Amino acid sequence: MKPFCVWVRPLGDFCHVRIERIENVQWLLGQLSQSFVFRTFDPIRTLQQSSHCTIEIPCNPPLTQALLRRLLVAIPEVKLMREPA
């Protein structure tokens, strides 16, 4: 699998996760589901005129934003990106 970009932005009790290319979404969710702290996410939304998709993941104990970022960084195919300023 080719590496792909992922962005994480906190939104209160959720993390807004943007994923490059729709075909990577289900694969990434499969990788995250192997973690005992990852349980649910809101529906996948495709961004208009873009190859990116977004999901919202609850980020409250036990899954915090910091832990989600660590989980993503541990996946070799994921390039965790900073949100544009």
Q: Which residues pair with 42 in a beta bridge?
A: none
Q: How confident is the model at residue 50 (pLDDT cuts 50, 70, 90)?
A: confident
pLDDT > 90: percent of the chain: 35
Whole-angstrom distance, CA of residue 61 vs CA of residue 22: 28
Mean pLDDT of the chain, nearest integer: 84
Residue 1 has pLDDT above 60, yes or no: yes
Q: With 0-12 CB in 10 A as exposed, 13-18 as middle and 19+ as buried, what is 14?
A: middle
Q: What is the pLDDT of residue 25?
A: 87
> Which residue, among 18, 12, 26, has the nearest Cα to 58 in the 3D structure?
12
Does the model's pTM come out above 0.75? Answer: yes
